Chain A
Amino acid sequence: MKHFLMPTLGADMEAGTLVAWRKQPGEQVHRGETLAEVDTDKGVIDVEVFHDGVIDSLLVGPGAKVPVGTPLATIREAGEQAVEKQPAEAAGVQAKGVRAATELPAAAEPAAGQPDRQARMRRAIAAAMSRSKREIPHFYLATTIDAAAAVAFVAAQNDTLPADERLLLGAVFVKAAACAVREVPEINGYWRDDAVELLPTVNVGLAVSLRGGGLVILTLRDPASWTLAALSQQIRELTQRARTGRLKASELADATLTVTSLGDRGVDSVWGVIYPPQLAIVGFGTVARRPLVVADRVEARSAVTVTLAADHRALDGHRAGLYLTAIAEQLQQPETL
């Protein structure tokens, strides 16, 4: 028997409210399918299941607010027998004070109005960012990179591609940041319990501002393994859903390194605040024509200032500098990305 849990969507999430079940006991579910809708500080999200099986019982009913990690349902895997149904007892054991789903009214509408969501999101951002600045000894590095190769590459590719397969310069930046981790693996992971926990896969958290205020960090899973076209498509789709639709829990969880890009807003550089428990945040400013020295001559070139804020508990300036250099090298060879 597997438990289906209230997901955690980052250090700033403590609890979520079950809005509705999409499946009922006895129904077959497949890995990746949405099982429940949950209201969080990041809006209502769809929570997917990670196992194939049959829903055995629902332990929490619509309207219940429970801490992250609380079992919401049990799932029988192939070959397992149905458990004797004692919903009231089961619910009592699994989540104190929560009545069994079967006894609760069906799908109550979420109480979360727009102003309320805004206020809750503000509080969640305030909590995470205050904790970051309180606990993480940030240090900062920057470098201005010749972006002509990346800009020309994207333009040349897009000239021949249909609109929905075109590349985003932002996708090139994300992939360069992910691939550069190969050179400096100690930038990717978490600081937990007074120790560094490095992770083998880079899941890039992409900061996306929301219309009307607030932001979410979208999770791009292992972008180093994606083509730039597929990554661009994913960024377009997730950004649109973050701003006007709905996201899935897996699209907001498990980021290991954050990238923020304020290039569209015309700023030269952005100095990020690390999202705990991550170790670093990479910032891309506006790509603009700037005087650069090329072969001992001053030329007008497309350039971008890339910054890094890193956790000094976990790594030092020398390695962090090598990481920024590695990003710069990746961006000089966009065709290898």
Chain B
Amino acid sequence: MPAPPHPPLSEAAVRAAVFQALRQIAPEVDLSAIPDTANLRRECDLDSVDFQNFVIGLGKSLQVVIADRDAAELVTLAGCLGLLAHRPSATTD
């Protein structure tokens, strides 16, 4: 049975999912103060384990598959928006 079509992800949805995933890992960081182009790993002090958890959390909440080779793009909010916004959710890659 083909999966039902999903509307593309909005920028607001991606931004909210990024914040939600970061809050799970770095609850003490003021996310509103982070510019879109800032390196999230540096701003939120994420090590490689945290970053994998961030990618997992983001994929789960947006119901998208994030390829490992694309994960490095998710290191900035702008990169997250570029990779994930306007992309249909629930894709299977």
Chain A residues in the interface with B (C-beta under 8 A): 155, 158-159, 161-164, 166, 168-170, 209, 211-212, 232, 235-236, 239-240, 243-244, 263-265
Contact = CB atoms under 8 A, between A and B. Distances in A.
State the main secondary structure of chain B at its contact with A: helix
Residue with the greatest number of chain B CB neighbours at <10 A, chosen from A158, A211, A212: A211
B27 interface: yes
Interface stretch (B5-13, B62-70, B75-83): B62-70
What 9 pairs between A and B have smallest CB-CB spacing? A158-B68, A264-B47, A239-B49, A163-B56, A164-B56, A163-B59, A264-B48, A163-B55, A240-B53
Interface residues of B, number: 22
Contacts of B60: 164
A170 B48 contact: yes
Contact of A240 (B25, B48, B71): B25
B49 A155 contact: no
Contact of B53 (A155, A169, A236, A263): A236
B27 A244 contact: yes
A215 to B, nearest CB: 12
Contacts, number: 53
Given A162-B65, A163-B59, A244-B25, 9 more contacts: A159-B67, A159-B69, A163-B52, A163-B55, A163-B66, A235-B49, A236-B53, A240-B50, A264-B47
B53 to A, nearest CB: 5
A263 B27 CA distance: 23
18 contacts: A155-B68, A159-B67, A159-B68, A159-B69, A161-B68, A163-B52, A164-B60, A168-B49, A169-B48, A211-B26, A236-B52, A236-B56, A239-B49, A239-B50, A240-B49, A240-B50, A243-B25, A263-B48
B91 interface: no
A236 B25 CA distance: 11
Residue among A163, A166, A244, A263 with most chain B CB within 10 A: A163
Contacts of A164: 56, 60
B63 to A, nearest CB: 12
B51 to A, nearest CB: 9
Contacts of A169: 48
Contact of A236 (B27, B45, B49, B68): B49
Contacts of A235: 49
